[in-house]
Structures are given as C-alpha cells and as structure tokens.
Chains A and B, each alone.
Chain A
Amino acid sequence: AQSVTQPDIHITVSEGASLELRCNYSYGATPYLFWYVQSPGQGLQLLLKYFSGDTLVQGIKGFEAEFKRSQSSFNLRKPSVHWSDAAEYFCAVGASGYALNFGKGTSLLVTP
C-alpha cells in the first residue's frame, strides 16, 4: 500500500533563510509525486510534480524538489523563504487510476 510520511509537523524559519521540507514515501514502483501548498481556509495549490525523467523538478514560487529513489524521498526546497510562504505544505503520492495519498502536512512559520 502507498504511504506518505512528512516527519516534521511544524517548521520555523527566518525570512530569507533556506527551507527544506521532508517527504518520504512507500510504494512498490515509482509513484507520481506531488507537493501542494494550502493557505488557511483555502484549497490546495500545486507547487510541483514528478512523474519521471530529471529527478530535480522546478515548481512555482521558487520551489524545487528532488526525487531520490534510493532514499524514497521527495524533499521540497527553497533557497530563500519569504513571509508569504507561511502555509501548510502537503506531500502526496499517486498512481495511475488512483486518488492521491497525502501526508499529514508540515506547517511552515516564517519569522521576521
């Protein structure tokens, strides 16, 4: 069965600092991997996705993620965080014909 683990429930970073949000997955084959962001009271916005090919994927808002098969990870990174990046971040795994399986989310707080 698919599963997604986001080890960090909360992360606090200073504005301008770099960010890495962790995501580990469990799946028998190479899954489709996604990162979504959710602002309070809002729906989810797709940041980036990985299906195949280049393991470093670029997304919107300056985010990137790297797929590491050996570590079953798909960590999200941003070199310099802005206050507007404060939100809830969800990693998700999917497979052809199936719905997404979401991690529990990581809440990002950005301090001045």
Chain B
Amino acid sequence: GAVVSQHPSWVICKSGTSVKIECRSLDFQATTMFWYRQFPKQSLMLMATSNEGSKATYEQGVEKDKFLINHASLTLSTLTVTSAHPEDSSFYICSARYRKETQYFGPGTRLLVL
C-alpha cells in the first residue's frame, strides 16, 4: 500500500514551453501533497504544499506563477512548469501524506530544458 506515482518519469522540452507533471496516490487519498526539487548530489528542497481544494502554499523564493500547482482531487496533484528555461532543469519529486504525517514519495520526474 501507500504507492505514489509520477508521470512522466522523463521529459525533455524546448525553452519557453510549459511542462505538466502529475503526481498520483494510487491506493489512498491524500488531502496534502508536497512538491520537492532536487539538484544533483543534494538534498530535497521543498517547493510547495498542495492541499486538495485550495491554493497551494509556496516556499519562500519559489515563484508561484512559474510553478503552477493544482490539487483537483484527493489522488491527483499537478505541477506545471510554465515557460521553462534551462535553469529549471532538475529532478522533481512529489510526495503524498498518508495517515500520521508519513509521506510517501513518487519516483521523480527528470526535466531537461534545452
């Protein structure tokens, strides 16, 4: 149980385009999901907290108009990187909160912006 999926696992796009990443909790409902960004050889950096039915809460320094988050259902949150640029290239990981504060993570999405 407590499986989280992400789609796509890999995406390559041209600079200026938008990319949508999906995060799904497959066997449980998650009122709260989180989006992280991870640079090579570094720890996870929290970008935003996604709450079902309400606006996401962004961490300081994360542009909400750049990284659009939608949590339309109890099993799906999406992160859209708008007008992507090479500096947005990174590994994006989502997690979903299950029961008592335990977070289960998706397998991650590697984004490369050319």
> SS class of chain B's interface: helix, strand, loop or mixed?
strand
Contact A51 B6 (CB under 8 A): no
Contact A104 B34 (CB under 8 A): no
Q: What residues of A have a CB within 8 angstroms of the CB of B100 in the complex?
A: 32, 51
For this complex, into which size category does the number of interface residues on chain A fall?
A: 20 to 34
User: Residue B107 contacts which of A42, A49, A100 (CB distance < 8 angstroms)?
Assistant: A42
CB proximity to A under 8 Å, residues B58-114 = 91, 93, 95, 100-108, 110
Q: What residues of B have a CB within 8 angstroms of the CB of A43 in the complex?
A: 4, 6, 93, 105-108
Contact B46 A103 (CB under 8 A): no
User: Residue B101 contacts which of A32, A42, A90, A102 (CB distance < 8 angstroms)?
Assistant: A32
Q: Top 6 closest A-B pairs, CB basis?
A: A44-B105, A43-B107, A43-B105, A43-B108, A104-B43, A102-B43
Residues of A near any B CB (own CB < 8 A): 32, 34, 36, 41-46, 49, 51, 90, 94-96, 99-100, 102-105
